[in-house]
């Protein structure tokens, strides 16, 4: 389970505390090490722990980026635990961070087992794909749908022995989404996900196509 911390400003230097008491029971913390799993520009400062909690000081960070941090602790009883935490960085002008792995997994819990690092990498591509030219009301939904489609085409959330996706790919003879109709008979469609047949091969891609037509009415895919 990934935790979510309140945002920080890039200019702030703040301490963040993680309570391990409920998980430890009668055991106590011996060591605590923090690391940055995804995101560039955030600085880890002083790290410390007491018997039931760990603390890390954080500074800098890039506005609009949601960082994933990992706290690995060991206990006096010889146990090792990991806890991931998401930290959005937002400047004083109120820049809203883009979608992150936690947002994505909350919307599509079927991808809960997928690495948050991988999801954040694909989301970064989605933000480039669905940019300012889209209606603001559709932008986030389209980014999440494109990410879900792309991950599915790459074989997530489960992989078969052939590396093909198990969540929505397969032979599609004919699909119609609004006025968009696509016909093909190749298992899995396009691996890149950018063609009409690629999008039509997953339910996420079909919904993405529908949004794309609403944002760009002149686009016709037959």
For the stretch 118-132, pLDDT in tens is: 999 999 999 888 888
Residue 190 predicted with pLDDT over 50: no
pLDDT for 93 equals 54
User: What mean pLDDT comes out for the span 61-65?
Assistant: 87
pLDDT for 42 equals 95
Q: Are 195 and 219 in contact (CB under 8 A)?
A: no
Residue 135 predicted with pLDDT over 90: no
User: What mean pLDDT comes out for the span 63-79?
Assistant: 93
Q: Are 81 and 20 in contact (CB under 8 A)?
A: yes
Beta pairing class for 29-38 and 66-75:
antiparallel
User: What mean pLDDT comes out for the span 50-55?
Assistant: 96
Instruction: Please name the residue that has the structure tokens 């949601």.
Output: 66
Per-residue pLDDT band for 69 (boundaries 50, 70, 90) equals very high
Point out which residues pair with 177 in neighbouring strands: 180
Residues 59, 112: Cα–Cα separation, whole Å? 29
**Helix H or strand E encompassing 128:** helix 116-129
Q: Are 164 and 188 in contact (CB under 8 A)?
A: yes
User: What mean pLDDT comes out for the span 58-78?
Assistant: 93
Domains and CATH numbers, the chain: 3-88 (2.60.40.10), 101-215 (no CATH)
Residues 90, 66: Cα–Cα separation, whole Å? 9
Residue 184 predicted with pLDDT over 60: no
Instruction: Please name the residue that has the structure tokens 């309140």.
Output: 6
User: What mean pLDDT comes out for the span 69-73?
Assistant: 96
User: What mean pLDDT comes out for the span 158-171?
Assistant: 40
Tokens read off for 127: 């933000």
User: What mean pLDDT comes out for the span 194-203?
Assistant: 75
Global confidence as pTM: 0.46
User: What mean pLDDT comes out for the span 47-71?
Assistant: 94
Residue 96 predicted with pLDDT over 80: no
């Amino acid at each position: 389970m990934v935790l979510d911390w309140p945002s920080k400003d890039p200019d702030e230097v703040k301490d963040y505390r993680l309570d391990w008491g409920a998980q430890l029971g009668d055991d106590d913390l011996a060591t605590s090490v923090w690391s940055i799993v995804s995101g560039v520009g955030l600085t880890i400062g002083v790290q410390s722990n007491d018997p039931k909690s760990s603390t890390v000081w954080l500074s800098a960070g890039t506005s609009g980026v949601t960082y994933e941090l990992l706290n690995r602790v060991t206990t006096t009883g010889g146990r090792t635990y990991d806890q991931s935490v998401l930290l959005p960085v937002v400047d004083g002008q109120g820049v809203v961070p883009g979608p992150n792995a936690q947002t994505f997994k909350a919307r599509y819990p079927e991808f809960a087992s997928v690495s948050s690092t991988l999801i954040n990498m694909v989301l970064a591509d989605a933000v480039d794909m669905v940019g300012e030219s889209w209606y603001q009301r559709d932008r986030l939904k389209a980014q999440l749908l494109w990410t879900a489609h792309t991950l599915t085409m790459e074989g997530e959330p489960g992989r078969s022995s052939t590396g093909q996706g198990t969540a929505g790919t397969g032979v599609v003879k004919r699909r119609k989404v609004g006025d968009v109709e696509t016909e093909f008979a190749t298992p899995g469609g396009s691996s890149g996900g950018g063609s009409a047949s690629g999008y039509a091969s997953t339910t996420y891609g079909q919904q993405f196509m529908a949004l794309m037509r609403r944002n760009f009415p002149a686009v016709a895919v037959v």
